[in-house]
Amino acid sequence: MKYTVLSLFPEITDAYFANSIIARAISRGIVEYRAINIRDYAPDRHKTCDDAPYGGGPGMLMLAEPLGRALEAAGALPKTGAQDRLSRRLIYLSPSGRPFTQELARELAACEELILLCGRYEGIDQRIIDRYVDDEISIGDYVLSSGEAAALVLIDATCRLIDQVITAESLEEESFAGGLLEYPQYTRPEVYATLEVPRVLLSGHHENIRRWRLEKRVRKTLAVRPDLIRRGKAAGLFDTETITVIEELEKDERDTGD
């Protein structure tokens, strides 16, 4: 995978690539990284990259000219409609994008190159989106000050899915996660600040441990992510035992509810 990041502040993404599992992947030749400073492509001597929006409104927008020149330097071409979206994708990180999910991470991890355009100010001239951008992606419903942090999230999530970057084992476990949050985990010591490790985990009784963990997962998911329970049910993600546990705990909830 090759990541090309276009930004007014490339130091932000540089720092990340210098120190993480990605640094190892780069030295092994599995991942490539290139940062392009958009300011280097401003045509005027003041290196202007922003201006006020036509029609009025708050703040400033990134100018089309420096963005277009930086994109062409990155090897981007204007869209033709007949694009090979498996080999190379141009992504604009934007609060108005479609939501980033594990499914989208898997799709993007299969690309040969991701060109990530990070915005500053209130956004970019729409003509850059129309002419070059394949996907507009948001990382969630909260407001960031710029696109760089979002690009790092996308890079981290996709990079670890690339074959050879992390062990197949941890990815396999992930697919087992199937619609529920994790159970609580404990390691040594057995007593920490008077807090004891749950007895069942020390019992060596594998069937009881498995059942305890399943109940903990269902309880936690019902409490903080009831949407995952609804979606998991609809998608047929749960086996009959899990459905029984969900129904029991939902019933408990109603009994103690009021």
Cβ-based nearer residue to ligand 9D3, 95 or 109: 95
Cβ-based nearer residue to ligand 9D3, 103 or 255: 103
Number of C-alpha atoms within 13 angstroms, CB side, residue 161? 17
DSSP H stretches of helix in the chain: 10-18, 21-27, 64-73, 102-109, 126-132, 148-159, 168-176, 206-224, 226-234, 240-257
CB of 139 to ligand 9D3, least distance (A): 4
CB of 59 to ligand 9D3, least distance (A): 8
Contact 104, 137 (CB under 8 A): yes
Calpha distance 32→183 (Å, rounded):
36
Calpha distance 173→71 (Å, rounded):
39
Cβ-based nearer residue to ligand 9D3, 67 or 93: 93
CB of 153 to ligand 9D3, least distance (A): 8
Cβ-based nearer residue to ligand 9D3, 99 or 198: 99
CB of 38 to ligand 9D3, least distance (A): 14
Cβ-based nearer residue to ligand 9D3, 142 or 176: 142
Angle, alpha carbons 31-34-36 (nearest 5°): 160
CB of 229 to ligand 9D3, least distance (A): 25
Report the interface residues with ligand 9D3, using CB under 6 A.
93-95, 119, 122-123, 138-140, 142-147, 150
CB of 99 to ligand 9D3, least distance (A): 9
Calpha distance 73→157 (Å, rounded):
26
- Count other Cβ atoms within 10 Å, centred on residue 235: 10
Cβ-based nearer residue to ligand 9D3, 107 or 250: 107
Calpha distance 127→118 (Å, rounded):
16
Calpha distance 90→84 (Å, rounded):
11
Q: Which residue has the tokens 């940062």?
A: 35
